[in-house]
Amino acid sequence: MEVEVKFKVYEGLKEKIESIAKFVKEVREEDYYLIHPCRDLRDEALRIRRSDGVYLTYKGPRVDRETKTREEIEVEVSDFEGLMSIFKKLGFEVFARVSKVRRIYRLGNFKICIDKVDGLGEFVEIEVKDGEKDEVLRFAKSLGLVNSITLSYLEMLRVSQ
């Protein structure tokens, strides 16, 4: 289970994160969201991510309303075009794309991502695998982050259109 929270970046947050966490890498991510005419994925997501690799991700229904906690299954594949071709032959279609530049940091069990999302702006996501919601919310609060955003980038883009 992945426990994740998201917030809008405020002035000085990046510097605060850089002072306490270890910088891992910066990547450009292109997320392609798939739908199928015979399956309603309204509270789930099927995504192909192209970044420093190619990843197929299933995200299950959300567990609570405060965070973006949900089951996540992710596999790395080697051939983006081949994977897209298989899904198209099975009747899936790309219905949305989200592009962002992501700066990834680590601090203990926490993965901290500062995202510059095309068309939306800058956000910070804090996540922990197999962690506790309260643990993530306490850490976010220690950074001065309150009132988490529970919408995904995809949902935010669709609302802003």
Domain spans, the chain: 2-160
Q: What CATH number does the domain located at 2-160 have? A: 2.40.320.10
Rounded to whole angstroms, the Cα distance separating 41 from 119 reads 24
Distance of CA 54 to CAs 116, 123, 127, 133, Å? 20, 23, 20, 29
Residue of 10, 32, 33, 55 with catalytic role = 33
Catalytic site includes residue 105: no
Q: Predicted confidence band at 161 (pLDDT cuts at 50, 70, 90)?
A: low
| Three-state secondary-structure class, residue 50 | strand
The answer on pLDDT for 130 being more than 80 is no
Mean of pLDDT values over 100-118 = 97
Please give the model's pTM, rounded to 2 decimal places. Answer: 0.88
